[in-house]
Structure 1
Amino acid sequence: MIGSADSLRGAGGTAYPALGDLGAALDAGGALPPVVVLPLHAVSAPAEGAAVPEAARAALHRVLAVVQEWLADDRFAGSRLAVVTRGAVATAAGQETDLVHAPVWGLLRSAQTESPDRIVLIDLDRDDRDGKDSNKADEARHLARALDSVEPQLALREGELLVPRLARTAPPQDGGTAPGWGDGTVLVTGATGALGAVLARHLVRQHGVRHLLLVSRRGANAPGSAELSAELAGSGAEVTVAACDVADRDQVAALLGTVPAEHPLTGVVHTAGVLDDTTVASLTPERLDAVLRPKTDAAWHLHELTRDLDLSAFVLYSSVAGLLGTAGQANYAAGNTFLDALAAHRRALGLPGTSLAWGLWAEASALSGHLSDADLRRLARSGLRPLSTDDAMALFDAAPGTGEALLAVTRLDTAALRASGEAPPALLRGLVRTAPKRAASVSAGAGSGPGLAERLAAARPADRDVMLTDLVRGRVAAVLGHPDPTEIAPGRALQELGFDSLTAVELRNQLAAETGLRLPTTIAFDQPTPGALATYLRERLAVDEMTADEPLLAELARLRPAVEAAAGDADAHGRIVTRLRELLDAADAAGRPAPAEDDTTDDLDAATDEELFALLDERE
């Protein structure tokens, strides 16, 4: 455990003040535990009286530093970091959430995507019990169950382990309760951006809103602002365009003071946001904060300064990046997860609150305009298809009728996900069912992907380089969206082909899954060409030392526990023994020289069960 021994009740194990202390213990000969627990509520408790956004940023800074150290230090490569929060996720309607630590889930979901099998997220019940020893023992037992699970994200509620799964929803047939948009002034942040402008037109044309307060950092000086105002005015709306940094509480308070009493504020839609994509390893506190402020600070100020008003709608434009943990968007994911938690928090207080976690829009915007054709193909392979503007606005209208505080609003191509052959993100497993792949080994080279070690060991040494080069070229082509891997020249620089930090992470993950190796996120830059990368993999896999029997012996060793586990089932035991006899017959026939005419051979059929299992043991 990292932190105080008292920070997690009854958890047991050795407590280290910091990761560096665990590293020192390993250097002194200590054993690396399979799981290291980081109780977040103890490590990053907010300062007394600190504003929620400030406390959330401080918590994120601390966690980011720990996770970066965890992922960068090879001494920890064989273990998982279990980050434990309390009440940071809402598992049912009406639950209040810990807004300080909720964004950590978004940050770490992206870290999980970038570095699979290295981080686990666990959320415990809120710490509002009496602290009796019985409760401590129960919590420790339930936490142990969570740590034994293969799920990357879990919540513990009254002894029950819950996992997040996306499920289809539909508005009730009666249409539910829609907000009364046209009765007062509706405030839209980020209103001069592409998505904000689409919404403003929709509110006026489809909902009859007649009083709009459109807000952006540049206000009337923003490109297209005058044209948008004139267009809306021509449709009968009274439009006020204002410049305001909604992440500044004083500016938001002054802005709200301009709303006329005869048209009081009745709705808020927060669409503002910025991007600054980078991997977790390269993320700095400054880049984290720059993306957080338009999300966390702005939404919190809007919440606090309007909570006593009679609003009919409080809508937050979030993103599926926070739910899925998009690689390279840990800062953006964190900010959007705060919005999701704030909507649940408002519902628990009896206030309107809806967070719309948008997927990809076909409409170009500041948040999607940077995507290349390769990026779009990569997103398509992940199942995310763009929403047309008409479909997006239809879903915006349908959202209130569902009664949900959080909705993922996206087109999802489940067929593409199944066709990829990869296991879908845990969140999508309820919608997309595929045959699970064997997990990669945590030790370098110990668990080469299914079939790869066997093929390499059986191949001639001269062919092994070709096989690995073809593997690398195929994965490079898949990541970049090239239709023909043979067009990827082995000597061509990967950066010239279009690799950046995000596609490098995807390439690393695909090669790690194929080979079973722990590979650095910078592998596409450390090994600059497909040929160099293939050579690196050959050295890491120790291909030159492989013999043809190694993969078979490893497979036999892997099967032994399963064979022993079936010993208690008489029927299964008999079938297994029969198959083992057949395998031994085949091995014996293939491996023995032809006997002389007067030789006698052992009769394997006469072997006892104990002798058969002893033979299996010898082949390890």
Structure 2
Amino acid sequence: MVVNSLAGQAIDRGLETLRPGGRFVELGKRDIYANKPLLMRPFSRNIAFFGVDVTALLSDPAGLHTGRRLLAEVAERVADGRYRPLPHTVYPAARVGEAFALLQHSRHIGKVVVSLDPQDGPVPVRTRPGPPRLDPDSCYLITGGLSGFGAATARWLADRGARHLALVSRRGADGPEAAAVLSDLAARGVTATPYAADVSDAAAMARVIGALDATGHRLAGVVHAAMTLSDGPLTELSDERIRAVLAPKMAGAAVLDALTVDHDLALFWLYSSFAAAIGNIHQAAYAGGNLFTEALARRRGRTGPALAVGWGALGDVGHVAREGLAPAMEALGAEPLGPHEALAALGSVAASGTAVTGIGRYDWTRVRSWLPALATPRFSALRPADGELGGNSRQDLLAALADVTADEALETVNRALAEVLARILQTDTARLDPALPLQDYGVDSLMAAELLTTLRQRLDVEIPPMELLQGGVTLTDLARHVLLRLGVRTTDSANG
């Protein structure tokens, strides 16, 4: 006997396994509803095919009595042990990820059960930390707070409830953006006081903090956003240029740490850069200064709150926006984040207890193509698996399709999708027929989700799940969908 709930070729293969006189019980409904044809040769062995729809049996008034009788009989046989549980594998809830992986790759026999038995031990639950709560009666100091991303941070703190801000820059209220920033904050009901001081000057910063203490609004938080850039190859950087870059980052962070060590701060944030993790041949001093801030955050974090944030490319405000670098950064795989989105992410991680974090949006495949450092083991968790879509990003694939015919384009995408699907199914690409419906390979909803997620992450192509799961969709159909969303025609102009 074969009890079947699969579709497509699984039905044909199941019929072939029956010996003479065998019975095939079809519980699945997909092929029945699709009115699929059935091979007749296996029936020469005197086998029988039964189509069973239990829901129809229970809803049909004529069959309701029979259905109740059968259910009672099943319950009796379960109770007396004649019907035993199906083969199953039990995972404690703490290992639910392993259970899904087993199910996803069809390595299981029978059912996969997740147990919530208290004897299995506590289930680790990761709560999403909320943004920090700000005290409206306290004061928050922001270096570099009168322009760029520092000013965006000031606005964000104001929206989170801060009502007293101390904004420090070397030019103070005379800065080019200062008047607009102060006016905007005043409109939000915030008392924002500008201070002209060099953050690396310990005496000047001591006077600023002394003035804050005299206002009666205790200092509750510090955000160090001040920075200076002087890009160039290391061989062209003079000692003066290096000092100019290091001073606000290193000396400024050290001064703020020393002057606030006795203050009960709720937050101490140091703005770093992704350049500290991967380096930049034109920003050696800047990368070094940011590494210092991260080391300081780790040390200070042992006794109190401290966080260094390695920012990726930021759009709308700051250096990338000011210099018009957003298109270039995006082409390299580092899509700029808007200040609102970036600071919302900061709010989520600020309460996590980590000392150093990174926030940015990256296409890791594209970034790795020009940044060898990403091939090192420390970045292995960020890199997509080798072999997915032939290692191509959206731009790489578009470049490969630029000078080929429509048929060649379809074949290229077909081949790339086959590699992804073969990895998901854990089979060889040679066994996949592009003209065969995906459901015939046993592609279920979990596998489909993995395939669609890969397309979204690697190619920025969105395909609704129902388009993939509907009956009859083949790899070639999916390849046409991908080409359509990439803006590539699948028919030659010569052919109309």
Per the normalisation by structure 2, the TM-score is 0.50
Structure number with bigger Rg: 2
Per the normalisation by structure 1, the TM-score is 0.40
